[in-house]
Amino acid sequence: MFPRVLMFGLTLMAAAMWPPPQAATTERRQNQSPWLRTESRHFEIHYLPALAPDVDRTVRSAEGAYDHISARLEFVFAKKVPLVMSAATGSPTRDEVIAYAISDAVAPQQPHRSRIVLPLPEHEADLDALVVHELTHLLVGEIILPEQPGDGGLPRWVHEGLAHYMVGTWSGDHERLMRSLVASANVPGLSQLSGSGGFADARVNDALGHAAFDYIESRWGRASIRRFVDALIVPRVDKTYDAVFDMTPAEFDAAFRQYAQRRFRAESGPKN
């Protein structure tokens, strides 16, 4: 599963707080960080010298993901997003990368500022999907809980399903999970699910959420996704389904079950 977005903050240091030039030079030599930094239109990219050849493709992928998600959500984040690149394996370890990512070298912790830790996959398609997935978490978090850490207590089917929906591609695993739910007449009422939903396999939430957001777009149009996200802003409206879909929660659940049965019954072909 994709690594999760890390949430922290940004402050600026006043020029008067810097040490004298000679002392500053000595300190930098003694505590020289191996991490480098560059900027793009929407991101601050942090990387180690060994990953310099991957910076351009990461920037292309990140900016493409940003354009895709911000257009879907009609949302532009006012600050640049810190993005810490790392190798998928080897040195430094994941824990060491995360320790750097949450340090003041990336962004001081007050006030809160979101960031992404990105282990680089080998293939371009995997990189694009990973960035879209993680950036969706980050931008949705900034809408519903601005300048604060966490996901606002969203059910997993919402925050993971929305990220998979933004990526768009259906995996064979998610297809099988949905077909199994439909075949056993066990599609749950989404409005009643909270947290992980109590499923032994957490991926069931992800597949359900992906299908739910596909359904929402197919019935109410792409703009309905942003209306639904707006209804999740903390503190939340009491009648999310009524306000967004003009349906009671029970009516929404019944309509989604019918959609799932049509789309994922055994004789249906693969969907993308």
Is the separation of the CB atoms in 137 and 151 below 8 Å?
Answer: yes
**165 in the same domain as 126:** no
Per-residue confidence in pLDDT tens, the chain, 272 aa:
444 444 332 222 222 222 333 333 333 444 568 999 999 999 999 999 999 999 999 999 999 999 999 999 999 998 999 999 999 888 899 999 999 999 989 987 777 788 999 999 989 999 999 999 999 999 999 999 988 888 889 999 999 999 999 999 999 999 999 999 999 999 999 999 999 998 989 999 999 999 999 999 999 999 999 999 999 998 887 789 999 999 999 999 999 999 999 999 975 444 55
Please report, for residues 111, 113, 151, the alpha-carbon distance to residue 108 in angstroms, rounded to integers and kept in the order given.
8, 8, 20
The CATH number of residue 103's host domain is: 3.30.2010
**227 in the same domain as 139:** no
Range of the domain at 181: 156-264
**166 in the same domain as 140:** no
**193 in the same domain as 229:** yes
Please report, for residues 35, 47, 62, 130, 132, the alpha-carbon distance to residue 52 in angstroms, rounded to integers and kept in the order given.
11, 7, 16, 19, 21
Is the separation of the CB atoms in 135 and 66 below 8 Å?
Answer: yes
The one-letter code for the residue type at 15 is A
The structural domain count of the chain equals 2
The answer to whether the bond into 21 is cis (omega within 30° of 0) is no
C-alpha span between 138 and 222 (Å, rounded): 20
pTM: 0.84
**170 in the same domain as 105:** no
Which pLDDT value is given to residue 2?
43
